[in-house]
Amino acid sequence: MIIPKEPKLTNEQYEEIVSIVEEYGCRIQPIEGHHRTIYAVLGEERETIMVNRILGFDYVDRFDAVDSPFKLMDAQSELAHHKIKIGDHIVGESPFIIAGHCTIDPKNPNMFLESAHAVKEAGAKAIRGGVWKPRTMPYSFQGDDSSIQILMDAKAQTGLPVDTEVMDEHQLKLAVEAGVDILQIGARNALNYSLLKQVGQQTADKQIAVLLKRSMGMGPINEFIAASEYIAAGGNPDIMLCPRGTSPTMDGYRNYPDECITPLLKEKTWAPVIVDPSHSVGRAKYVPSAAMAAMAYGADGVIVESHCDPKKGIGDDPKQSITPDVLKKLIDDINQIWEIRKHYRKEMLFCTEMLFVLMNIDTKFLNKILAKIVNKDSGQAQWLRPVIPVLWEAQAGESLEARSSRPA
């Protein structure tokens, strides 16, 4: 939608814009109001070059796109009902908990294997283990290629899927060839579009999920979703979004906790949200509270650092890893929060049904709408959102037939 600065474009300005949009297979439809005229772009309005050329005219105030910029990750895209299966678990059907060491110590593989068994016993659905680690200083331990075998030994012994971070094409190749189930893109690489493209291409049709963390410097929610679009466009739609705290930091925490963006993400995209409270707050004593807050906000799960003996860990484990005993209690609490969320969802469905009964809406449309809500929601924090689009669909297809003319 083109909004001019003046109430109406001149004939010369109108012809100038028409000539541009026609180059991209679009056309202009003026919409005349009482005081001003705006101009709808009919066709693929997301052509970036076309939009930029139009915005380059000093007589254009703004260009408001009606279509979402996200062709694959938008909540209403063709992937809206896409399910991500990791091991035996479908993300979104129950809490998906990933737990394990921040960093695998190649000199002490048994410690990682011990923790892997312990987090499985605590109820984790997948094991995290840092084979490679990005560090602020070049002198810090940054992982070792040999640790990939330790990670895969944990997978073989426990039967759980495994997660590790990759930072370049070499690490990506090794992880894919080894059989890693979840590739983690860390905050420092969340805007590395070349890597994101490669991840999408190298994991396409390989049953490998991608956990994309939010960059510390990311501002708008759309920037986060746009990064995931690179992976999906590369060929792999199995993407989970991971808020993990941003900058500037909050006193007492490692980063600024951002689990509160979960409902905003779920309004815009179908992708599951897995929150990282360990890096968000940066202290083991705060992790359980942050994890439960994330679940209350509607997250599909959390990824937490857990270690049998944190003080003997390397990397961030000594300060922000919780023990498997604490993890077990946390998972029990998370399951309770999940059940509470299901209760509220059932209440919403009941209220929706009563609303349509009061409005005397035809039963077949009511069933269609409730089915849409159930299929789309999966217990997530977007309970009311599907109602309006479903009504639009019903209006576009069949009329909502009232059983009587009596006003609701």
**2-63: which CATH architecture?**
2-Layer Sandwich (3.30)
pLDDT at 402: 38
* Per-domain residue ranges of the chain: 2-63, 85-339, 340-396
Beta strands in 267-352 (DSSP E): 274-275, 301-305
The residue among 385 and 147 whose pLDDT is bigger is 147
pTM for the complete prediction? 0.78
pLDDT at 138: 84
Burial classification of residue 320, based on how many CB atoms lie within 10 Å of its CB (0-12 exposed, 13-18 middle, 19 or more buried): buried
**231 with 240: CB under 8 angstroms?**
no
The predicted model gives 109-132 an average pLDDT of 97
pLDDT at 48: 87
- By mean pLDDT, which of 67-71, 94-98, 304-308, 374-378 is the weakest? 374-378
| Burial call 90-126: b when 16+ CB within 10 Å, e when fewer | ebbebbbbbbbbbbbbbeebebbbbbbbbbbebbbbb
Condensed to tens digits (0 to 9), the pLDDT of residues 198-207 reads: 999 999 999 9
The residue among 402 and 115 whose pLDDT is bigger is 115
Burial classification of residue 131, based on how many CB atoms lie within 10 Å of its CB (0-12 exposed, 13-18 middle, 19 or more buried): buried
pLDDT band at 67 (very low <50, low <70, confident <90, very high): confident
Q: Which fold has domain 85-339?
A: TIM Barrel (3.20.20)
d(CA 188, CA 167): 9
